[in-house]
Amino acid sequence: MADTDSEIEVVVVSLGARGDGVAETPDGPLYVPFALPGERVRVRPGATRGHGRAAQLLEILEPAENRVTPPCQHFGVCGGCSVQHLADDAYLDWKRDIVVTALERQGIAGSIVRPVVPTPAEGRRRAELAALRLRGRHGAVVLGFHARASNRIVDLAECVILRPALREVIAPLRGALAQILEPGTGCDILVTETPVGLDMLITTKMPPRPKQSLTSAAFAEAADLARVSWASARTGIEPVAQRRPPSVVFNEVSVALPPGAFLQASATAEGKMAALVIDYLGSLPARARVADLYTGLGTFTLPIAADGARVHAVDSAGEGLANLLAATGAAGLSGRVTVETRDLSERPLMAAELAGYKAVVFDPPRAGAAEVVRQLAASEVPSVVAVSCNPATFARDAATLIAGGYCLTGVTPVDQFVYAGHVELVAGFSRTKFVDLRLRCREPLSHRERGWGEGTFLVS
């Protein structure tokens, strides 16, 4: 391949999972940021990346028909979005293809994947911003997301993915941080929109000094924030100002929100995902026992319980579970929800413990749920619903369930992280003797299965 000082012309053939255009060369693939399939481009090859090399886009010689003008002035520099330059239909097809490719790498037919469920672009109710106060007595504050593949912070003038309340707080927050931060220091700020106002968590290496706490509290008052908390490695999370207790609402039930607790990034996507979970669970017997693993604050627990099931909610975050249990009592759902604090990666529910459950729902972190699905595969649970933010680890876990006798009944991607390469999905599995081998079985098929041809088969 040409050296890093050379310029070459290539044709982009596909769009990778990170949003980079992929061009095939005799020496391996080139990954070209901001290039689209079908485009002829002039690039400069760079550092090794996987089995190929990264490349710098120098010029688009022949643009694709589905190329559009990015809606944000920061696109191309800010690392928050990777694909704003692709027309809507092609964009949603790309998101679906990410899931299809992940499944096919595990030998699972990608035709099972349904169309992507879209969500509004400006739907992000939660964002983690980085801030740095420049050196000097009157040092300005840079506040925004990190630049693409860099620790540099892009000072946001606009953001098309954030909810209006988050966008509107950026300018006054930048001014407040000029008083809160010492010159040459920085912090991370997690901002969450809640029904009672914004909840803010400031994270630094050191705990706040009295002046920093007072200035933060004054900003909460001036900006009408619900709460400000401060987190450091030395002291953990400390409250700074709580003017109204923040909460989130699942299925019309309000649950108190601990500072920094996990929450889906978009309320709209969260609602669509909860509806898909209920749909994939199907009709459960009255008072059926359901396990909800990696529960969080009850995103899926409460809709399932409201549907008539008895839900056992399991998570490692004890405070969130306590808040969930209190909320179920206040909502008149006492007796329908039980909770258990447990690290599922270290202590998954064993197959014997799953006896008697009619269904299991699990929503793990990006690393997936390898230990959990091993036990599910050895269990007799009739129905499983998986929620995932990582198609690659989902596909790995799906292959384990299929090898254990489950049938993959459907996969629905949800575009929660608009313009980014991240894809959420909800999928259903059932234990059944009838399996559609064309759509749902792991390949390659066994000798016995291959002999039956295509269609729906009885396998024991």
**Residues labelled as active-site residues:** 389
Other beta carbons less than 10 A from residue 128's beta carbon: 14
Spatial CA neighbour of 421 closest among 67, 129, 104, 99 = 99
Contact 270, 264 (CB under 8 A): yes
Residues 6+ apart with CB under 8 A from 227: 197, 199, 200, 220, 239, 241, 242, 243, 244, 245, 246, 259
Q: Residue 46 CB: number of other CB atoms within 10 A?
A: 13
Tokens of 335: 């007796």
- Whole-number Å distance between alpha carbons of 351 and 415: 33
The encoded tokens of residue 4 equal 């890093």
> How far apart (Å, rounded) are the C-alpha atoms in residues 376 and 379?
5
**3-state secondary structure labels for all residues of 100-122:** HHHHHHCCECHHHECCCECCCCC
Residue 253's beta-bridge partner residues? 250
For tokens 């106060």, the residue is 133
CA angle, corner 41, sides to 38 and 45, nearest 5? 120
Distance CA 126, CA 40 (A): 38
Element (H or E) spanning 171, and its range? helix 164-180
Residues in the chain: 460
280 vs 18: CA distance, rounded Å: 29
Cα distances (Å, whole numbers) of residue 433 to 177, 282, 429, 446: 61, 18, 13, 15
Q: Rounded distance, CA 39 to CA 311, Å? A: 51
